[in-house]
Structure 1
Amino acid sequence: MNKILKENINIMPLGDSALMIQLGSTINPELQQVVSSLTAHLESTPFPGFIECVPAFASITVYYNPVAVIKGKGSSQRESPYKIVHSYISNIIHENRNAEKFTRRRVDIPVVYGGEYGPDLEFVSSHHSLSVQEVVSIHSSNDYLVYMIGFAPGFPYLGGMSEEIAVPRKSSPRLRIPAGSVGIAGQQTGVYPISTPGGWQIIGRTPLPLFNPAKSHPSYLQAGDIVTFTPIDEKEFLELKEALH
């Protein structure tokens, strides 16, 4: 963790059983690397009372059990659970104990573009005076970084999309977007893991199930993953969907 990032870190309480580590105010791969590394360290070497970490674009929320934190401290000093956890995390940051490079996982997501699966693909192409195939080619030629999971269970916010196909959100959100739908909003792209209302421009759909509440890790994608999209045709989509569901 470099000096500039250390100087920008702010740790603050969130109620009586959580705190937020604010690591910066920008959205960029270097900061996301720090978020992922620190999250991985806290999860692999949890302090007494640790429950979970929730990483975001430039912050991490850490949830803990206050009673377990006090018991785990094993001290007669009357420190609050927040101060104990704050001290633990501050030491990790300033001693650079999470300095090891976070290894990013690469994930390929097959997508059938356009038609009933991508009803807004034509809008994206006309908005930029590009052919449909050019939009597909641009969208599927980049590597995307998962900055965070949010909005809906398992929904990945992906950075790295070309400005050439950036489009605004829909003025009126759809009441139902099918699970697996691939959308664009501004310079971000994402995938709807479950059927939900939404206002992103839908350009395709993947047969991969991206959220399964029965699994120990319900979200298929995690913050820090590198995602690529591979175009497939409808026949491949239907075959994969049948095989995977």
Structure 2
Amino acid sequence: MSGATPARYSWGGDEHIFVELAEEMSLQANFRAMAITTSLRENRPDGVVEICPANASYQVRYDPDVIEPRTLMARLRDIEDKVGDAADFSLSTRVVEIPVLYQDPWTTETLMRFRDRHQDPDATDIEYAARINGYAGAGEFIAAHSGSPWFVSMVGFVAGLPFMYQMVPRERQIVVPKYLRPRTDTPKQTVGYGGCFSCVYSVRGAGGYQMFGITPAPIYDPAQELPDFGDFLVFFRPGDIVRFKPIDRDAYDDHVKEVEAGTFRIRSRPVEFGLREYLDDPDGFTAGLMEVLRAD
């Protein structure tokens, strides 16, 4: 790995410091954000209120009556120097399995209502994505989308919505533009795609990402009634590694019944993720990650 690019620090009003680690998203840039914010969280000084990692940056909210702002900024610069390019940082995280009904009837009906806002009015979103990425058709595209793990680079924009970055060499990444104009409707738990990011829409609402399918797995439960939400109302955490599992309509319906009965659980297992091991052998490393849940 080459040396890390120096970060750019700026003030966000009287209570925030924003730190930009790179101008473009990469797994290396995001992993630096994870390493720095993890170190800050583990040795959290008094006065730090919130720590929020993002795709290639992070933001810290602080109480200026408790910690002097320039003292905190100096602390962040010191952590940045110690982390370096984060190649030796190991993240304790988890692999999670998200079942997906690709080309489902609900997102298909929705996308057909908004073809006037799309680059290709004569194709579905997944057919368009397959074509511009050089895949023979929807089936081959689904195999590629579900055949590699995805790294949750940040959670936000909408409550509980994860941004996921494909863990393959950059020349093999799926890239799909957003709609020409945003939709006014997107079904809850839609698996979407925009730029280099996959996502899961946590709630129903407007959106501009391409729609590939839907998951029966709730990822946002403000009432915290389901088993996966005992600790927090949002399921995903930055650093999660996601495996999409294609399912058919019968399996989807069975999972929905489990959700309604309050028994559904998202499958997950803890893992240690080191950036150096991934960069040394991306295909071998991710193949091992994909097998973690298959072993159950």
Corresponding residue for 1:175? Answer: 184
Matched, 1:111 2:100: yes
CA shift in 2, pair 1:201/1:3, >3 Å: closer
Instruction: Give 2:7's match in structure 1, choosing from 9, 13, 16.
Output: 9
Q: Deviations over 1:31-90 (max 9, x none)?
A: 211111111122222111111111111111000111122xxxxxxxxxxx2112112222
d(CA) in 2 for partners of 1:12, 1:132: 44
Q: Aligned-pair distance for 1:24?
A: 2.2
Corresponding residue for 1:26? Answer: 24
Within a 5 Å distance, the mapping from 1:73-84 to structure 2 comes to 81-84=68-71
Instruction: Give 2:73's match in structure 1, choosing from 86, 89, 112.
Output: 86
CA shift in 2, pair 1:165/1:118, >3 Å: farther
**Aligned to 2:69, what secondary structure does the other structure show?**
helix
**Aligned to 1:146, what secondary structure does the other structure show?**
strand
**Aligned to 1:57, what secondary structure does the other structure show?**
coil
Runs of 4+ in 1 over 6 A off after TM superposition: none
User: What amino acid is aligned across from residue 153 of structure 2 in structure 1?
Assistant: Y
**Aligned to 2:198, what secondary structure does the other structure show?**
strand
Corresponding residue for 2:202? Answer: 193
d(CA) in 2 for partners of 1:3, 1:90: 19
CA shift in 2, pair 1:199/1:3, >3 Å: closer
Corresponding residue for 2:279? Answer: none
User: What amino acid is aligned across from residue 85 of structure 1 in structure 2?
Assistant: L
**Aligned to 1:197, what secondary structure does the other structure show?**
coil
Q: Aligned-pair distance for 1:125?
A: 4.3
User: What amino acid is aligned across from residue 190 of structure 2 in structure 1?
Assistant: S
The two structures have a TM-score, normalised by structure 2, of 0.70
Corresponding residue for 1:148? Answer: 154
Corresponding residue for 2:278? Answer: none
Unaligned runs of 5+ in 1: 70-80
Instruction: Give 1:159's match in structure 2, choosing from 160, 165, 176.
Output: 165
Instruction: Give 1:124's match in structure 2, choosing from 120, 129, 135.
Output: 129
Matched, 1:51 2:53: no
Corresponding pairs, count: 232
d(CA) in 2 for partners of 1:130, 1:65: 55
User: What amino acid is aligned across from residue 59 of structure 1 in structure 2?
Assistant: S
Q: Deviations over 1:166-208 (max 9, x none)?
A: 4322223221111110112233221101111001111100111
CA shift in 2, pair 1:16/1:230, >3 Å: same
Query: Once superposed, what is the RMSD of the aligned Cα atoms?
Result: 2.6
User: What amino acid is aligned across from residue 188 of structure 2 in structure 1?
Assistant: A
Corresponding residue for 1:66? Answer: 64
Quick check: 1:117–1:203 contact (8 Å CA) kept in 2? no
Q: Aligned-pair distance for 1:91?
A: 2.8
Q: Percent identity?
A: 26
CA shift in 2, pair 1:122/1:35, >3 Å: same
CA shift in 2, pair 1:31/1:186, >3 Å: closer
The two structures have a TM-score, normalised by structure 1, of 0.83
Unaligned runs of 5+ in 2: 109-124, 225-230, 261-296
Corresponding residue for 1:74? Answer: none
**Aligned to 1:92, what secondary structure does the other structure show?**
helix
d(CA) in 1 for partners of 2:136, 2:40: 46
Corresponding residue for 1:77? Answer: none
